[in-house]
Amino acid sequence: MLIRRPDDIPSSDITPETVYQNRRAFVGTAGALALGGLIAPSALQAMGFDRGAAGMQDEKLTSEDDATSYNNYYEFGTGKEDPKEQAKDFRPMPWTVNVEGLVKKSRPYSFDELVGKLPVQDRIYRHRCVEAWSMVIPWQGVQLKDVVARCEPLPSAKFVEFTTLYDPRRMPGQARAVLPWPYKEALRLDEANNPLALLATGMYGKALPNQNGAPLKLVVPWKYGFKGIKAIVKIRFTDKMPNTTWNDANPSEYGFYANVNPLVDHPRWSQAKERRIGQFLKIPTLPFNGYASQVASLYSGMDLRKYY
Amino acid sequence: MRSMLARAESPIRRLIRPALWLLVIVPAVVLVAQLLLDQLGAEPIEALEHASGEWTLRLLAASLAVTPLMRLTGWGWMVAQRRFLGLAAFFWAMGHLSVYIVLDQFFDWPEIVKDILKHLYITVGMLAFVLMIPLALTSSKWSIKRLGGKRWNQLHRLVYVSAIAGCVHYLWAVKKDLEEPILYSAVFVVLFALRFILRKPGPRSPRPVPPDASVTLPAA
């Protein structure tokens, strides 16, 4: 399907293949420094490996097993282990995405029409959940801006809204009104056109697993994980800021922007640190999840405490 | 019914303590084994936190179930199980707190203090734990004697506050799906209600005088 090597020159935000390949060697070096099985972040920093914008070098991929068996996907149950079990019989294909709103022509697109023939991207991104755990995941997919362009939005469009499939027979978690179904998420159009924004169709070099949002999942690595809407069936362009599910469910806790920000705590817990799944010690959370140099300019002049 | 109860009393009385020991020890052993065998999923620390917190509430509920049971059956010896279960709940609460301090925060005291002061669900959880300390310290027979039954009973009413705080802690900690914390809270509500329904016979709740006025009421 869409799982092939990237056929264009990767932009700077993509982990270069060489770095990716050398990670093994690097992890070996780091392993020598490991104390009791723990990689001391300070030791890595002392070696000059900055966790900042440029580098993913010092960050080990989360094991595929963890990334595909521990996640939130309330459409398949509210427990973190539920989605893997409850989504195992879900059949994503054939898949249709309705493109609506302020576009040249509203119409349904088949999965291949929408994302086929677009350059496939390999991206290793940090994933930071609003619950203060994180992973490092290798995604495959297409740039969202390429999909936006394919949808031909009108100049008046300012926001893009995504909707998850609503079908309680296929998504048993929707039988309970834990959230107002269907799940909706949205981005400002300039956020959607940022080169980091991805529509994932695969991870770990395989088709996107059902429990991770097959067949189409939004990945916006500088935002909390709940922005990464799964199993997208509708893309709507609009000039008004759309409602989003978690914001509707609890506006004081989950904002529209939901940019990763260690300085703005969740009302009930701290966002200053995160636990990287597979590691013991918590690590500091970075502004915009470490992607500040690519995305901070989108929010210049905005009070990020107000627009959390 | 009465005679069945009477026949059951002696074996239950003999077996209750070993059974309660198993109830306390087996989950702890299973949890440690799961941890060592890497069977706690992707986020073992969170799994330990959740399990230890839930066992604290379960044992607390069990200890609060003793009094209603005692009033239903009239088995006064059960009062010792009440202290045993309360103490067991306290040890699980210590485990819960230790997992938080050692594994979750790794002795990051400034962060822990900030967490307790700033995040209400942690504040309330700490309150629930702190209230259990005097109860655990006075759980011996010697303490009852020293304090005197009345004062001891008054002090141990703190368990109600601790249980409510524990439930609030759970309700607030959950992101969205409140099903389980509501279930736990409902159990405590039922246990509290049972105490009112099955009132202690005594001067405060006068009973109709039994037909045979020469029979005195059983002592509380």
Q: Give per-residue pLDDT as tens, A203-261.
A: 999 999 999 999 999 999 999 999 999 999 999 999 999 999 999 999 999 999 999 99
Provide the b/e sequence for B142-176 (b: ≥16 CB within 10 Å): eebeeeeeeebeeebeebeebbbbbbbbbbbbebe
Burial class (CB in 10 A: 0-12, 13-18, 19+), A183: buried
Confidence of residue B213 (pLDDT cuts 50, 70, 90): very low
Q: Would the pLDDT of B9 be above 70?
A: yes
Q: How far is A120 from chain B (nearest CA, A)?
A: 29
Q: Read off φ and ψ for residue A239, nearest 5 degrees.
A: -105, 0
Q: What is the pLDDT of residue A58?
A: 61
Question: What is the reported pLDDT for B208?
Answer: 47
Interface test with B, best of A270, A273, A279 (most B CBs within 10 A): A270
Q: Is the pLDDT of residue A45 over 70?
A: no
User: In a 10 Å sphere around its CB, with 0-12 CB exposed, 13-18 middle and 19+ buried, how is residue B99 labelled?
Assistant: buried
Which string of b and e fits A20-52 if b means at least 16 CB within 10 Å? beebeebbeebeeeeeeeebebeebeeeebebe
B119/A270 CB distance under 8 A: yes
Q: What is the pLDDT of residue B43?
A: 87
Residue A83, judged by CB atoms within 10 A of its CB (0-12, 13-18, 19+), counts as: buried
Across the interface, whether the CB atoms of A270 and B111 are under 8 A apart is answered: yes
Condensed to tens digits (0 to 9), the pLDDT of residues A121-150 reads: 999 999 999 999 999 999 999 999 999 999
Q: How far apart are CA A293 and CA A296, in angstroms?
A: 6
Specify the 3-state DSSP secondary structure of A98: strand
Pairwise pLDDT comparison (A39 vs A269), residue with the higher score? A269
Answer with the residue of higher pLDDT: B175 or A245: A245
Rounded distance, CA B16 to CA A202, Å? 55
The answer to whether the CB of B121 falls within 8 A of the CB of B172 is yes
CB contact under 8 A, A78 and B121: no
The answer to whether A37 touches A60, Cβ cutoff 8 Å, is no
Closest alpha carbon to A210 in A172, A249, A160, A181? A172
Q: Where are the beta strands (DSSP E) in chain B?
A: none
Distance from CA of B156 to the nearest CA of A (A): 30
Tell me if the bond preceding A10 is cis, omega within 30° of 0.
no
A85 close to B (CB below 8 A)? no
Q: How far is CA B139 from CA B41, B81, B102, B134, in A?
A: 37, 11, 27, 9
- Chain B nearest CA to A80, separation (Å): 9
d(CA A220, CA A53): 15
Mean pLDDT (chain A) is 85
CA distance to A10, A193, A196, per residue, from A144 (Å)? 15, 7, 8
Kindly determine whether residue B106 and residue A281, on different chains, have CB atoms separated by under 8 Å.
Answer: yes
Q: What percent of chain A has pLDDT over 70?
A: 81
pLDDT of amino acid A33: 36
Question: In this complex, do B43 and A265 lie within 8 Å of one another by their Cβ atoms?
Answer: no
Query: A interface mutation test: which of B175, B177, B182 has the most A CBs within 10 A?
Result: B175
CB contact under 8 Å between A277 and B43, yes or no, is: yes
| A104 DSSP β-pair partners | none
Please name the residues between 5 and 64 in chain A that touch chain B, using a CB distance below 8 Å. none
What is the structure's pLDDT at B149? 87
Stated as kind and residue range, the H or E segment containing A292 is helix A292-295
A282 shares contact with chain B (CB less than 8 Å): yes
CA distances (Å), A258 to each of A138, A299, A304, in order? Answer: 22, 12, 10
Place of tokens 């900690």: B173
Note the pLDDT of residue A268.
86
From the list B43, B172, B175, which residue is nearest A133 (CB)? B43
pLDDT in tens, B10-32: 899 999 999 999 999 999 999 99
Higher-pLDDT residue of A23 and A195 is A195
Rounded to whole angstroms, the Cα distance separating A253 from A267 reads 6
A275 contact B CB<8A: yes
* pLDDT of the residue at B201: 62
A290 has a pLDDT exceeding 60 = yes
- Any idea of the CA torsion for A188, A190, A194, A200, to the nearest 10 degrees? 40
Which tens digits make up the pLDDT trace of B40-53? 888 899 999 999 99
Task: Round to whole Å and give the CA distance between A186 and A258.
Answer: 11
3-state secondary structure of A133: strand
Chain B residues whose CB is inside 8 A of the A250 CB are 176
User: What's the pLDDT at A17?
Assistant: 44
Nearest Cα neighbor of B16 from B57, B75, B56 is B75
Is the omega angle on the peptide bond into residue B181 within 30 degrees of 0, that is, cis?
Answer: no
Task: Give the per-residue pLDDT at B6.
Answer: 84
- Interface check A265 vs B, CB under 8 A: yes
Average pLDDT, stretch B200-217?
Answer: 48
Q: Please enumerate in sequence order all residues whose Cβ is within 8 A of that of B207, keeping only pairs 6 or more positions apart, or say none.
A: B201, B217
Chain B residue numbers with beta carbons less than 8 Å from the beta carbon of A179 are: 176
Kindly state whether A109 is in contact with chain B, defined as any CB-CB distance less than 8 angstroms: no
Quick: pLDDT tens for B88-115.
999 999 999 999 999 888 899 998 999 8
